[in-house]
Structure 1
Amino acid sequence: MALFGSCANALPFNKYVGLRLPWTLVDYQTWRYAHKLLHELTFPAILFSIVILKMFPNKSKTLMIWSVLLYLGVPSFFSYLYYKKKHQ
């Protein structure tokens, strides 16, 4: 998470690496927006994951799956809204 998140903002627009969603692959500005969000959410998501894992050590697998889904889901959702608003 830390490695991808730290370089997400610097990734060039491409169809092979990054948050590859139909709306990010079609539009350059949506691609930039999604990866900027991903970059900015990396540090808080890592901190949140560590705190939650320390609080609930018995649920580590479930919590890690949810933290990764949220980490990828939030930029996906907001980039979709950005794309829809831009292409109305």
Structure 2
Amino acid sequence: MLICDGMGAAGYGVYGVEPSTGKVAWQLPDTQADRIAPKITTAWRGRVYGTTPNGAIALDARTSKDVPSPHVAPLLVNESTGIVLNDGLVAYPTSG
């Protein structure tokens, strides 16, 4: 899934785009579902990480559904470490 975010005519939005077809699979904000668009920080292995006024979140890249969050929004992540900017760079272990 290709994740796009940025400002448009309607304001800030986040989109999940199917790369093989170019069709939008989901978009946030979604006023009908009462969901806001997070500020995206990074993505890794099907998870999209970001921040909202309510804190850090993680989304499933294919569906935009909430998934268990590490309660931080990493700027970089790999199979072993997430790097977060929090009064300096802090490394958090990942679960894989």
Q: Give your verdict on TM over 0.5.
A: no
Normalised TM-score (structure 2): 0.24
Normalised TM-score (structure 1): 0.26
Name whichever structure is richer in helix by fraction.
Answer: 1
